[in-house]
């Protein structure tokens, strides 16, 4: 990290807003982050937010408990729409996770130093989003204990393997690899900061907990060397995952022969959509957090602006995807592809298509305006709406295709039940609960990385040492 | 201030080894337990309404399996004999034994004996005795040395891997049709020679068919 601070010093000077607000030094950076988990008093706002998350989490427990008792008939999922909310929500959550990996892996390899302030909680977001996503395919089977066995058939007393030619099993490997690498990457990045927490904690109990978690980190040159090597390797491992995981998720659709799914544009278009929705979620989290914890000096307008720009870029790619889908529908010359596109635009679910288009092609254009990118309140609302837009995208893809396939006699409408919504909002509760616990108990910004951005860290070689 | 004592280094290193050991033991335990007799209920004697001894009737007297299990060559089920089959002999021998009173009571009152099933396959498996017998799979191959069982017990795990072990390569287990009910069968020539020969002679289907799902799950 330290060897590229020179390049960084010149590049920030070009831009009008610095990555870290002026006036910060080593101590203030550490103090403003470390005091949050170490504070004895829990802020009332945190308790309020946590309780909202916890009550939604209880809703998840109730709805999954009832699901296991009654079977998936409590959901609206039924033939012909056998993949309904569960898959929509699964893809939505997995997509959201992608921003965290992009920020911590790809932006690290590209030496984008603005990522340092947001990488920690974006990575946490990734892990929690993957946890939420995993719930859906497993419970969609109705018997999660059997689903676990089918996915990892050990002990293999059936002497049978899962169908390796099915994209669903590719999904299992893609997502479990993604979860594992993300957790390890996140934890490795936490170790130096956990040691800082150990050193700053007042009570012996906290010192011991953080001490155990920091794995004996003393900050020696050898430790830092190993840390740099490990995080570079992990970034290298994570980088292909940013592209591969959602590619494999898109194969769930693209490998089938359904009109509207069987398209070569799906992998890149899904990856762009994932990053788009992921940055919307990072903004959704970053804007209230920096205000609530007075972190505007560390998560500056520069970060907000950059994230909004990434969102605009990926939003335009997604918009290109929608345009090409419509074009392919016509250009394919296939009667069924054309019928599918017509049905999407003017069929019974046309409302979802036009809502999607107006958000992901229409609303997102506001991000061209600097005034919009500088207005955090408006950006927060836009990020929420874009999250909804990306959810609608998956709804349109899954439901419109399945509800009307080749034979009109097998058409059928899908209506979600209250349990569908309860499970969906329940996973949002799980996400919020985990996230609130994270910001209360762990340093949510990588203090040691942000410190390297300070002017004091830029030691000139000619001055000795 | 030192947070941990000096020995913490040893504890932390030890805990890595101990953690690996615990994980390895758990994996080993799950793998072993799932194949154990406790789960498969193999090798466990089951108490019946009459403690019928195959050891005595098959091993001692030498009655052929098909004397009682009459439908084994023609039907899915080998067949549980009616009480009349018992009475064929036991009206003459041991006809007053108190041990056999449940059999006589069943005959008198015309109520079948309630035998307890020993080999209970899952309901989603369609097993047919006749095809196995016809293609040269001996009774002993699945049921073990019945002539040495004082009380009937399940010899094999009946898990799918056990079925597939044969379905993936049946030649290792085939015997001539006239040796089907033989207990303690020894092939006259090497099984490696005899097996493929019999498979061809009996026109046994290829492994693609034998391992296709719908052969057993319909």
How close is the nearest chain B Cα to the Cα of A437, in Å? 25
Share of chain A above pLDDT 90, in %: 81
Above 70 in pLDDT, residue A11? no
- Furthest CA-CA distance within chain A: 82
pLDDT at A279: 95
Chain A 144-173, residues with CB within 8 Å of chain B CB atoms: 154-160
Residue A111: the pLDDT is: 87
Query: Is A288 contained in some domain?
Result: yes
pLDDT recorded at residue B153? 95
Closest residue on chain B to A207 (Cα): B3
Helices within A102-220 (DSSP H only) = 107-109, 116-140, 144-151, 167-200, 204-213
The nearest alpha carbon in chain A to B31 belongs to A155
Cβ of residue B26 closer than 8 Å to a chain A Cβ: no
Task: Provide the ipTM.
Answer: 0.76
pLDDT at A4: 47
Residue A130 reports pLDDT greater than 60: yes
B157 inside 8 A of chain A by CB: yes
Query: Looking at residues A40-57, what average pLDDT do you find?
Result: 95
pLDDT at A462: 60
Domain that holds residue A159: 24-441
Backbone φ and ψ of B88, nearest 5° = -45, -50
Q: Please report the DSSP string for A263-324 in residue order.
A: -TTHHHHHHHHHHHHHHHHHHHHHHHHHHHTT-TTTS-HHHHHHHHHHHHHHHHHHHHHHHH
Taking CA atoms, B113 is separated from B47, B53, B57, in Å, by: 13, 15, 18
Rounded CA gap, B181 and A116, in Å? 76
Residue A167 and residue A252 in contact, taking contact as beta carbons nearer than 8 Å: yes
pLDDT digits (tens, 9 = 90+) for A409-420: 999 999 999 999
CB atoms within 10 A of CB A342: 15
Per-residue pLDDT of chain B (218 residues; tens, 9 = 90+): 688 988 988 998 999 999 999 999 999 999 999 999 999 999 999 899 999 999 999 999 999 999 999 999 999 999 999 999 999 999 999 999 999 999 999 999 999 999 999 999 999 999 999 999 999 999 999 999 999 999 999 999 999 999 999 999 999 999 999 999 999 999 999 999 999 999 999 999 999 999 999 999 98
Report if residue A190 sits inside a domain: yes
Residue found under tokens 């529908």 = A329
B29 in reach of chain A (CB within 8 A): no
Backbone angles phi, psi at A330, to 5 degrees: -80, -45
Token pair in block for residue A87: 């898959």
Of B3, B12, B164, the CB nearest to A159: B164
Dihedral angle computed from the Cα positions of residues A363, A365, A366 and A371, in that order, rounded to the nearest 10 degrees:
160
A202 near B CB under 8 A: no
- By C-alpha distance, the chain B residue nearest A200 is B1
- pTM for the full predicted model: 0.88
Respond yes or no on whether the N-terminal peptide bond of residue A80 is cis (omega within 30° of 0). yes
Question: What number is the average pLDDT over the span A43-65?
Answer: 96
CB contact under 8 A, A215 and B161: no
φ and ψ at residue A81, rounded to 5 degrees: -90, 75
Report pLDDT digits (tens) over B70-107: 999 999 999 999 999 999 999 999 999 999 999 999 99
Nearest-CA distance B145 → chain A (Å) = 24
Query: Which chain A residues have a beta carbon less than 8 Å from that of B12?
Result: 212, 215-216
Which positions in chain A touch B4 (Cβ < 8 Å)?
Answer: 208, 211
| B101, two tokens | 């009173």
Min CA distance, B51 vs chain A (Å)?
A: 32
What is the tens place of the pLDDT at every residue in A258-317? 999 999 999 999 999 999 999 999 999 999 999 999 999 999 999 999 999 999 999 999
First and final C-alpha spacing in chain A: 18
A13, pLDDT greater than 50: no
In a domain, residue A465? The reply is no
Question: What average pLDDT does the segment A32-57 reach?
Answer: 94
Contact B166, B173 (CB under 8 A): yes
Degrees, nearest 5: CA angle A229-A230-A235: 100
- pLDDT value of position A1: 41
Q: Which residue of chain B has the CA closest to A203?
A: B3
Q: Give the number of other Cβ atoms within 10 Å of residue A152's Cβ.
A: 11
Residue B141 touches chain A, beta carbons under 8 Å: no
Report the domain count for chain A. 1
Q: Kindly list the residues from chain B whose CB atom is less than 8 angstroms away from the CB atom of residue A150.
A: none
Tell me what pLDDT residue A307 has: 94
Does the distance separating the beta carbons of A204 and B35 come in below 8 Å?
Answer: no
Contact A157 B9 (CB under 8 A): no
- Predicted local confidence at residue A463, as pLDDT: 53
- Distance in angstroms (rounded) separating the CA atoms of residues B170 and A37: 65
Which of B2, B3, B5 is the best substitution to test chain A (most A C-beta atoms within 10 A)? B3
Taking the CA of residue B126 as centre, how many other CA atoms within 13 Å lie in the half-sphere pointing to its CB? 8
> What is the chain B residue with the closest CA to A195?
B3
CB contact under 8 A, B31 and A154: yes
Residue of A nearest to B13 (CA): A215
Q: For residue B94, give the DSSP letter.
A: S
Instruction: Check whether A381 has a pLDDT greater than 90.
Output: yes
Contact A426, A55 (CB under 8 A): no
CA distance A182 to A124: 9
Q: What is the pLDDT of residues A235-266, one digit of tens each?
A: 999 999 989 999 999 999 999 999 999 999 99
* Range 215-274 of A in CB contact (< 8 A) with B: 215-216
pLDDT, position A461: 60
A155: closest CA of chain B, how far (Å): 5
Residue-level pLDDT at A162: 87
| Average pLDDT in chain A | 91
Q: Do B161 and A159 touch (CB under 8 A)?
A: yes
- Quick one: which of A435, A433, A439 has its CA closest to A37? A439
Which positions ≥6 away from B120 have C-beta within 8 Å? Answer: none
> Are A159 and B4 within 8 A, CB to CB?
no
Q: Which residues of B touch A215 (CB under 8 A)?
A: 12
User: Where in chain B are the domains?
Assistant: 9-40, 54-80+115-216
pLDDT tens, residue by residue, A351-368: 999 999 999 999 999 999
- A208: contact with B, CB 8 A cutoff: yes
Q: Which chain B residue has the Cα nearest residue A213?
A: B12
Q: What token pair was written down for B177?
A: 């049709």
Q: Which helix (H) or strand (E) holds A431?
A: helix A418-441
* Closest Cβ–Cβ partner in B3, B12, B161 for A157: B161
């Amino acid at each position: 990290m330290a060897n590229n601070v020179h390049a960084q010093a010149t590049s920030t000077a070009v831009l009008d807003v610095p990555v870290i607000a002026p006036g910060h030094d080593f101590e203030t950076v550490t103090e403003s982050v470390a005091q949050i988990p170490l504070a004895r008093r829990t802020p009332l706002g945190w308790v309020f937010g946590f309780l909202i998350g916890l009550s939604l989490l209880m809703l998840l427990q109730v709805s999954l408990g009832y699901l296991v008792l009654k079977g998936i008939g409590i959901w609206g999922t039924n033939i012909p729409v056998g993949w309904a909310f569960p898959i929509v929500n699964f893809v939505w959550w997995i997509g959201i996770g992608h921003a965290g990996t992009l920020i911590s892996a790809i932006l690290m390899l590209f030496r984008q130093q603005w990522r340092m302030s947001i990488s920690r909680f974006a990575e946490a977001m990734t892990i929690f989003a993957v946890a939420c996503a995993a719930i859906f395919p497993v419970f969609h089977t109705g018997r999660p204990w059997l689903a676990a066995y089918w996915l990892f058939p050990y002990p293999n007393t059936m002497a049978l393997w899962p169908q390796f030619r099915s994209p669903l099993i590719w999904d299992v490997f893609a997502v479990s690899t993604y979860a594992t690498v993300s957790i390890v990457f996140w934890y490795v990045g936490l170790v130096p900061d956990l040691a800082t927490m150990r050193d700053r904690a007042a009570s012996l109990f906290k010192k011991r907990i953080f001490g155990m978690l920091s794995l004996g980190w003393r900050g020696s040159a050898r430790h830092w060397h190993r840390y740099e090597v490990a995080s570079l390797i992990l970034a290298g491992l994570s980088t292909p995952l940013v592209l591969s995981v959602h590619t494999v998720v898109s194969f769930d659709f693209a490998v089938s022969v359904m009109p509207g799914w069987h398209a070569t544009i799906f992998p890149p278009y899904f990856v762009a959509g994932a990053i788009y929705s992921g940055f919307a979620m990072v903004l959704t989290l970053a804007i209230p957090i920096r205000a609530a914890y007075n972190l505007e000096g560390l998560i500056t307008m520069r970060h907000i602006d950059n994230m909004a720009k990434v969102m605009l870029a990926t939003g335009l790619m997604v918009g290109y995807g929608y345009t090409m889908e419509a074009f392919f529908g016509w250009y394919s010359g296939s009667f069924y592809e054309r019928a599918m596109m017509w049905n999407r635009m003017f069929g019974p679910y046309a409302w979802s298509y036009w809502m999607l288009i107006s958000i992901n092609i229409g609303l997102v254009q506001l991000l061209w305006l600097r005034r919009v990118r500088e207005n955090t309140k408006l950006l927060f609302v836009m990020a929420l709406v874009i999250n909804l837009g990306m959810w609608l995208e998956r709804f349109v893809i899954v439901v419109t295709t399945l509800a009307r396939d080749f034979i009109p006699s097998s058409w059928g409408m899908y209506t979600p039940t209250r349990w569908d919504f309860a499970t969906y909002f329940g996973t949002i509760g799980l996400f919020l609960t985990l996230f609130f616990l994270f910001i209360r108990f762990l340093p949510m910004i990588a203090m040691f990385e942000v410190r390297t951005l300070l002017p004091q860290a830029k030691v000139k070689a000619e001055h000795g040492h | 201030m030192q947070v941990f004592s000096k020995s913490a280094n040893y504890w932390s290193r030890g805990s890595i080894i101990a953690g690996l050991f615990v994980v390895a033991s758990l994996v080993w335990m799950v793998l072993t337990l799932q194949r154990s007799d406790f789960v498969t209920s193999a090798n466990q004697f089951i108490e019946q309404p009459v403690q019928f001894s195959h050891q005595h009737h098959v091993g001692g007297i030498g009655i052929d399996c098909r004397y009682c299990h009459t439908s084994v060559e023609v039907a899915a089920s080998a067949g549980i004999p009616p009480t009349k089959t018992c009475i064929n002999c036991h009206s003459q021998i041991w006809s007053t034994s108190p041990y056999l009173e449940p059999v006589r009571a069943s005959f008198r009152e015309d109520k079948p004996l309630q035998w307890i099933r020993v080999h209970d396959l899952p309901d989603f498996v369609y097993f047919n005795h006749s095809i196995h017998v016809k293609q040269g799979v001996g009774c002993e191959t699945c049921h073990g040395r019945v002539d040495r069982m004082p009380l009937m017990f399940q010899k094999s795990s009946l898990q799918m891997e056990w079925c597939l072990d044969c379905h993936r390569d049946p030649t290792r287990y085939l015997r001539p049709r006239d040796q089907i009910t033989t207990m303690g069968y020894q092939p006259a020539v090497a099984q490696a020679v005899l097996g493929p020969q019999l498979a061809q002679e009996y026109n046994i289907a290829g492994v693609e068919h034998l391992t296709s799902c719908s052969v057993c799950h319909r």
